[in-house]
């Protein structure tokens, strides 16, 4: 593969580049975020290895900028920031994997190999469908059998999550975290109440029902077998 290493620590950059070259990869290096962004935009790389803490332009901003232009080159972040929130931030910025310093080169090589095997990222869908239920994410419109269904913002977010996990069982905890951003149990019936409201709008006047309760587990939105 053709790999770009964006790392301001010269010793670390040489260490990574030498190891990847020994594995047969072609490697270019950039010493700051601006230089890295220029190379990543113009160089036609198969993989980017990006340090988070870079001069001139930090790694997160570099990757966010690339993603905003439609660049989908896989990114492996390197960082000394190993907290859960830091890893999540890196992945949400558009990173594909995250490796905390100090690291063994064998692990970096394995992650590079894994990212190189991934199929190209397809375009994210703008319309979600299950049976005759349809959600247009761009127009923020929901319909079933051609009939528009009006939803409140939280109901829309709840239905979107169910549609993205159609056929799967999603737990109450998953919904609290992903739909309400609660990372604790508020000990209220907020999930049950919103599921009930959603059923009234999605299933009451249509057949068959699509939202199902999985006793002792959670909920599932699925088409009839």
Residue 185 pLDDT: 79
Residue 109 pLDDT: 93
Q: What is the fold, at CATH topology level, of the domain defined by 2-116?
A: Rossmann fold (3.40.50)
Q: What is the pLDDT of residues 13-24, one digit of tens each?
A: 999 999 999 999
The Cα 109–Cα 102 span in angstroms is 14
Q: What are the residue ranges of CATH 3.40.50.2300 in the chain? A: 2-116
Residue 206 pLDDT: 93
Strand 133-136 relative to strand 127-130, pairing: antiparallel
Q: What are the residue ranges of CATH 1.10.10.10 in the chain? A: 127-221
Which uninterrupted H or E stretch holds 62? Answer: helix 59-68
Residue 125 pLDDT: 73
The Cα 79–Cα 57 span in angstroms is 15
Residue 123 pLDDT: 53
Distance of CA 144 to the CA centre of its chain: 28
What are the residue ranges in the chain where pLDDT is below 70?
Answer: 118-124
Residue 168 pLDDT: 94
**Is 200 strand, coil or helix?**
helix
Q: DSSP of 135-193, one letter per residue?
A: EETTTTEEEETTEEE---HHHHHHHHHHHHTTTS-B-HHHHHHHHS--SS---SSHHHH
Phi, psi of 82 (to 5 degrees): -110, 5
Domain 127-221: give its CATH code.
1.10.10.10
Nearest to 170 by CA among 199, 136, 139, 212: 212
Residue 160 pLDDT: 95
Does the pTM exceed 0.95?
no
How far is CA 121 from each of CA 64, 70, 110, 171, 212, rounded to the nearest angstrom? 16, 11, 20, 28, 31
Nearest to 223 by CA among 152, 162, 151: 162
């Amino acid at each position: 593969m053709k790999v770009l290493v964006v790392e301001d620590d010269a010793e670390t950059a040489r260490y990574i580049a030498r190891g990847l070259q020994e594995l047969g990869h072609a490697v270019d290096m950039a010493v700051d975020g601006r230089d890295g962004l220029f190379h990543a935009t113009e160089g036609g790389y198969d993989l980017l290895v990006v340090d988070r803490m870079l001069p001139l332009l930090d790694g997160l901003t570099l990757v966010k900028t690339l993603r905003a232009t439609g660049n989908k080159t896989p990114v492996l972040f390197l960082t000394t920031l190993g907290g859960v929130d830091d890893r999540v931030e890196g992945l949400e910025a558009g990173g594909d994997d995250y490796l905390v310093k100090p690291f063994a080169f064998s692990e970096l090589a394995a992650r590079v190999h894994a990212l190189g095997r991934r199929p190209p990222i397809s375009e994210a869908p703008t319309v979600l469908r299950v049976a005759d239920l349809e959600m247009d994410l761009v127009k923020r419109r929901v319909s079933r059998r051609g009939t528009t269904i009006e939803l409140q913002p939280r109901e829309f977010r709840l239905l979107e999550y169910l549609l993205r996990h159609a056929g799967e069982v999603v737990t109450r905890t998953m919904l609290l975290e992903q739909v309400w951003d609660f990372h604790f149990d508020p000990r209220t019936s907020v999930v049950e109440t919103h599921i009930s409201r959603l059923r009234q709008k999605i299933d009451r006047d249509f057949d068959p029902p699509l939202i199902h309760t999985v006793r002792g587990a959670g909920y599932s939105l699925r088409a009839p077998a």
